[in-house]
């Protein structure tokens, strides 16, 4: 098993290596809401927050597309931490992977002991994650499509991902090219009073863009 949050960028190399050794490569993607992913590293840098969220959308849309031709399964992080057996057994069955025998009580208890429920430490909302409204809407739609995948990896859900991927470049250009962001980059943060920075961050995060 290879665990790497950036595995997407090297997926073809791992698939080629697996084929060269006679192995069958499969992918399991763990799903977390966007606020939890970007909120785990929130700073006062509004641009960095926007870039992280845009990066998350790009990565997840790319992951979904790149793994379509590969045996795959999707597991929600919440389910994994709080009730691991059902999503893990479902993923193992879908990918024909060896798994702990559910009748082996001691083995199941060892997994129970291994899973740390406190690993779900980040519970961030959009109120704590000020980002431009168009980017937030795209992130919400992307998460809704991802959240459907564990039970509905079908043509309807994939069509929604196709729509979101087509929309992403337009939203990204709109956000990255906004006048407020361009001006913010030109002014050194050190010369801007803290109350002003806070107010501008709120404007960037909550004011919808026209167009």
For the chain, 211 residues long, give each residue's pLDDT as a single digit of tens. 777 777 888 888 888 998 999 988 899 999 999 988 887 555 445 567 888 899 999 999 999 999 999 999 999 988 888 888 888 888 888 998 888 777 878 877 887 777 776 665 556 778 777 788 899 999 999 999 999 999 999 999 999 999 999 999 999 888 877 655 555 555 566 665 666 666 655 555 544 433 3
**CA–CA gap between residue 202 and residue 179 (Å, rounded):** 15
Inside any domain, residue 211: no
Inside any domain, residue 161: yes
Inside any domain, residue 2: no
Range of the domain at 26: 7-206
Inside any domain, residue 78: yes
Count of domains observed in the chain: 1
Phi, psi of 30 (to 5 degrees): -90, 135
Residue from 105, 20, 6, 11 nearest 58 by CA: 6
Inside any domain, residue 59: yes
Residue indicated by tokens 């992130």 = 139
């Amino acid at each position: 098993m290879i665990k790497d949050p950036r595995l997407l960028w090297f997926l073809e190399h791992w698939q080629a290596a697996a084929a060269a050794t006679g192995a069958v490569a499969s992918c399991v993607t763990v799903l977390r809401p966007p606020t939890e992913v970007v909120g785990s590293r929130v700073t006062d840098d509004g641009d960095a927050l926007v870039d992280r969220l845009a990066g998350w959308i790009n990565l997840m849309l790319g992951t979904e597309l790149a793994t379509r031709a590969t045996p795959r399964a999707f597991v929600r992080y919440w389910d994994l931490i709080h009730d691991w057996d059902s999503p893990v057994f479902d993923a193992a069955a879908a990918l024909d992977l060896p798994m702990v025998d559910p009748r082996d009580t001691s083995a199941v208890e060892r997994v129970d002991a291994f899973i740390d429920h406190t690993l779900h430490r980040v519970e961030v909302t959009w109120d704590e994650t000020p980002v431009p409204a168009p980017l937030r809407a795209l992130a919400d739609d992307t998460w809704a499509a991802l959240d459907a995948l564990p039970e509905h990896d079908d043509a309807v859900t994939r069509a929604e991902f196709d729509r979101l991927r087509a929309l992403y470049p337009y939203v990204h250009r709109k956000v990255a090219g906004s006048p407020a962001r361009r001006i913010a980059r030109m002014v050194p943060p050190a010369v801007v009073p803290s109350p002003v920075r806070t107010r501008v961050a709120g404007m960037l995060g909550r004011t919808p863009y026209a167009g």
